[in-house]
Chains A and B, each alone.
Chain A
Amino acid sequence: MTEDIRSLTARLAEEPSSLAFLELAEALRRRGQLDAACKVARGGVSRYPGLADAHDLHAHILGDLGDLAGAFDAWTAALQLDPMRAGALKGIAFLYYRAGDIVAALDHLQRAAQADPDDPSIQVALERVRSSVRAQGSPETNGGAAVTPPTLPAASPFEGIEGGEEGYLLVDGGGLRLGGALRSPSGEETGDRVAAQLAGISREAARATRILGLGAWHSISIESPDGQLYLAAPTADTVLLTSRDRAIPAARVGLLAERASRAARAWLEGLG
């Protein structure tokens, strides 16, 4: 047993509710002790069923063990908790590719690339799958409804609202931008990258407040030295992020966010 595995095992024994199981299972997996890794990961999943990292790691181990159906189920569970989890999207894409469902593989890889544009392995996998698409015809144009982005009205949900052009971001449950735009303090457009980070945040917040006996969540405010962010859920499937300078009082940002939430709800109802 190596030193890191010994110390992680001791840490987990001392504090069974800690997240040390993630490191321990991964360390065991890397050493090829797959049965032991699987046991540790399974224990973590049963203790933290709402933790996407646990399902993702469990899926990796099951995949290494050759249990592809189990891996698929575990990655699906990870994506239910965090729909833009790049590792799980990549894993499911691989399983679809192996099963010959190129369109589904391509769809998942494209989402993985959105979630983690800096991961070169996703670009390599995308190119490989696209080569298969070219070799087989063109499912992207023949049966590619799954990879066609939804059509949205041109109008912004935040037209006419103070700071409406670049201070609000409406995001779907999968971490994709539905409307609005966001600029960093240095002026860089950051909307899509921020949207990807917000995938599944609503579920995570709901789980935290439920476990702590606080009922349903309705907002999160985040204060940074450079600015403040405010998250709300205009609908069950969407999250609205409001971004403002630190100079604006936090309570006022909350009021602006409420107004923007109402506008977003009305806009979404208009789509339906």
Chain B
Amino acid sequence: MKTSGDVLDRVTRVPGVRGALVVAATDGLVVAEHLMDGVDGRAAAALAASLVGRLARTAAEAGLRHPAFVHLRADAGSVLVAPGKDDLVLVAVVGPEANMGLARLEMLDAAGRLG
């Protein structure tokens, strides 16, 4: 198992990633963070936990298992979320210039090492 710091370090090395956090899904608390200036980590944590909870319920109603990856796209970037073990969720805020395919693969790999 890797520490949260190791996991965040790896994700934030992907070009275009502005920051990443490990969040406790149940209460939206930040467990660890590695953020560029200007990214509100606490807000990102609470919002990601709330959104992922709702999307997990949506997936469950659709007969699907818990999401492994969520990608919220917006005009000026994206929020990537990959739930890990033990109620931990890996969240990354990325700019529009990011290599999304690489960021996704790193997130999935990193989330699997959390816990």
Contact = CB atoms under 8 A, between A and B. Distances in A.
B55 A212 contact: no
Interface in A180-226: 182, 184-186, 188, 190, 193-194, 196-198, 201, 204-205, 207-209, 211-226
Interface residues of A, number: 46
A165 to B, nearest CB: 16
B54 A188 contact: no
A223 B58 contact: no
Nearest to B95: A214
B27 interface: yes
A109 to B, nearest CB: 21
Contacts of A219: 72-73
A20 interface: yes
A209 B79 contact: yes
Nearest to A222: B67
B68 A19 contact: no
Interface string B16-46: 0000000000011100000000111011101
Interface of A: 11, 15, 17-20, 23, 48, 51, 182, 184-186, 188, 190, 193-194, 196-198, 201, 204-205, 207-209, 211-227, 229, 241, 243
Given A197-B61, A204-B50, 6 more contacts: A20-B29, A193-B61, A212-B43, A220-B70, A224-B65, A224-B66
